[in-house]
Amino acid sequence: MPRALITGITGQDGLYLSELLLSKGYDVHGIIRGQNNPKRELVQQVVPDVVLHTGDLTDLSSLLRAMSESQPDEFYNLGAVSFVAYSWENAHVTTEVTGNGVLNALEAVRLHAGSDPASVRFYQASSSEMFGKVQEVPQHERTLLWPRSPYAVAKVYGHYMTINYRESYGMHASSGILFNHESPRRGPEFVTRKVSMAVAAISLGLQDRITMGNLDAEVDLLVGDASKAHDRLGWTPTVRFRELVEMMVDHDLALLRASSGR
């Protein structure tokens, strides 16, 4: 069976990807930071068939060890310090993980693959934040990148490093430019989840208003042109906006009812 190794497996994308690959018959492995990571139990509960390896995107040796232990055919780099606001508070950590972490992941794949650099397929999760001060609407794969936060700059670095390794070493390395995507597994620090949790709480009489933070984005007019994914991959959306909203609110209602007894 094919084997996949995933960084960022504790996040919403990592969990959903794990479920998808397992359903396709993959042997799925994940890299998790620290032996006592509080999210380890979540991964083991949601996807118990995943094999976890301790590692860190800032530590090349740990990535090489995980590669050796898992022997993957595919490497999905979803790991990052992904909260844009935090990147302004700690640009150094964001750069080390979100930027240099990509270089470490690519280097681990290259060194592990040896004389056959394309034998392990590498996927980098790039971000629409790279477009920043947008130069055209909608944005596509050829739109000029103009990052406007430390997080976005780090993502641009990882994006171009992936291109560089593909062109320089002949690796099978690809990037997917991900625009905002939401789910019940979205972290509570993100605005969409803050809204769905607040709506659920208001409906149960647990609070009477939604308190928001800064309503002026770092960036605006991020609208993705997904025609290449339609044409090349045959991708089409299966969940509409209203369904997504209902899914998230219903999920948070269930959580609050369980915790509050209402």
Residues with catalytic roles: 127, 129, 151
Q: Bridge-partner residues for 31, per DSSP?
A: 7, 53
Maximum pairwise Cα distance, the chain: 63
User: Closest by alpha carbon to 127, among 57, 197, 175?
Assistant: 175
Compute CA 96 distance to the chain's CA centroid, rounded to the nearest angstrom.
Answer: 16
3-state per-residue secondary structure call for the chain: CCEEEEECCCCHHHHHHHHHHHHCCCEEEEEECCCCCCCHHHHHHHCCCCEEEECCCCCHHHHHHHHHHHCCCEEEECCCCCCHHHHHHCHHHHHHHHHHHHHHHHHHHHHHHCCCCCCCEEEEEEEHHHHCCCCCCCECCCCCCCCCCHHHHHHHHHHHHHHHHHHHHCCCEEEEEECCCCCCCCCCCCHHHHHHHHHHHHHCCCCCCCCCCCCCCCCCCCCECCHHHHHHHCCCCCCCHHHHHHHHHHHHHHHHHHHHCC
C-alpha 132/C-alpha 222 separation (Å) is: 8
